Amino acid sequence: MTDFIKVENLVFDYIKSEDESTFRAIDDVSFTVEKGSFTAIIGQNGSGKSTLAKNINGLLVPTAGKIYVDGLDSADPENIWEVRQRVAMVFQNPDNQIVSSVVEDDVAFGPENLGVDPKEIRKRVDEALKSVEMYEFRRKAPHLLSGGQKQRIAIAGAVAMEPECIVFDEPTAMLDPRGRREVMNVIHRLNEKGITALLITHFMEEAAQADKVIVLDQGEVKMIGTPLEIFRRAEELKALSLGVPPAVDLADRLRQRGIEVPQDLLEVEDIVRYLCQLK
């Protein structure tokens, strides 16, 4: 697979306006994201996750180091629109991202600003709404929808830009259990269609569903690997104020009771299946 995003020795400093002192939010971070993959980024509050995401789609420009998106240098002002067209972002609070009073107008907002032909916009909006299963709500007012539905509208707005990659910054933090499930299903579906997905989350069971997990702490990459490789390091994760998915937690407690449980059971279904054949 080819690398879609390449982060090389990225450093990012925030500058305080009152005394121009700097705070290093990202400190020498390097990794790559393969085209079409699903990567989760975890780390405690203030670890640099959101700063990293904003660097990737050009909302922030690196202090040092480089980010290449589809081969384009994100720091080159010539490339900025190209980069943002390739990498869309979805944020935590759907209420802060919805601009129109009609669902389909909201989804059309992005492509309209790209100067897309109206017929093409119609097509993109319909397809985007279908991809998040909100097509039948296209004429509704967003404020009358549930949190999960609003977040799916925000995702449709990103999809209508036809990006190659979507960065999801804690998209489920404010949602109820059904809303969380709906949004995770949509992320999987878009990823299966070939969109590169980057998910920032505090829910370990969501990170366990990715192809690759990156663990950030104090602006540095502390771990990088498959969910299996990451979540077997429970003690280190706890030291970084993180946790493990419920299935891993249970497996650990069973081992403490002298029951042998393999390391590769990340999801509830996996451990249930394993235990049932033990009985």
Partner 1 sequence: MSIEVKGLTHIYSEGLPDESLALEDISFRAEDGQLVGLIGHTGSGKSTLVQHLNGLLKPKKGHIIVGDVDITAENVVMRDIRRKIGLVFQYPEYQLFEETVAKDVAFGPSNLGLTAEEVDERVREAIELVGLDYDKVKNLSPFDLSGGQKRRAAIAGVIAMKPEVLILDEPTAGLNPKAHADILSMVEKIHESEKNIIFLVSHNMDDIARMSDKVLVMDHGKMMMDGTPEEVFSRGDELKKMGLALPASMEIAAQLRENGFAVGGTCLTMEETADGIAEVLKR
Distance CA 187, CA 244 (A): 21
- DSSP calls for 181-223: HHHHHHHHHHHHTT-EEEEE-S-HHHHTTSSEEEEEETTEEEE
Interface pattern 204-233 for partner 1 (x via CB under 8 A): xx----------------------------
Burial class of residue 201 (count of CB atoms within 10 Å of its CB; 0-12, 13-18, 19+): buried
Contact between 199 and 40 (Cβ < 8 Å): yes
Provide the 3-class DSSP secondary structure of residue 23. strand
> For partner 1, which is the closer residue by CB, 77 or 258?
258
Q: Kindly tell me which of 195 and 204 has the beta carbon lying closer to partner 1.
A: 204
Closest by alpha carbon to 25, among 34, 37, 17, 13?
A: 13
> Minimum Å distance from CB 10 to partner 1?
21
Q: List the one residue from 2, 45, 96, 113 that touches partner 1 (CB under 8 A).
A: 45
- Here's the x/- map for partner 1, 1-40, by CB under 8 A: it reads as ----------------------------------------
Residue range at the interface with partner 1 (CB under 8 A); choices 25-33, 45-53, 129-137, 185-193 = 45-53
Residues 128-187 that bind partner 1 (CB under 8 A): 146-148, 170, 173-180
| Residue number, 190 or 247, with CB nearest to partner 1 | 247
Residue 247 binds to partner 1 (criterion: CB under 8 A)? yes
Locus of tokens 């709906």: 182
Please identify, using beta-carbon distances, which residue of 181 and 193 lies nearer to partner 1.
Answer: 181
3-state percent breakdown (helix, strand, coil) of the chain, nearest 5: 40, 25, 35
Check binding of 95 to partner 1 (CB under 8 A): no
Which residues of this protein are in contact with partner 1, per CB under 8 A? 43-47, 92, 146-148, 170, 173-180, 202, 204-205, 238, 241-243, 246-247, 249-250, 253-254, 256-259, 268-269, 271-272, 275-276, 278-279
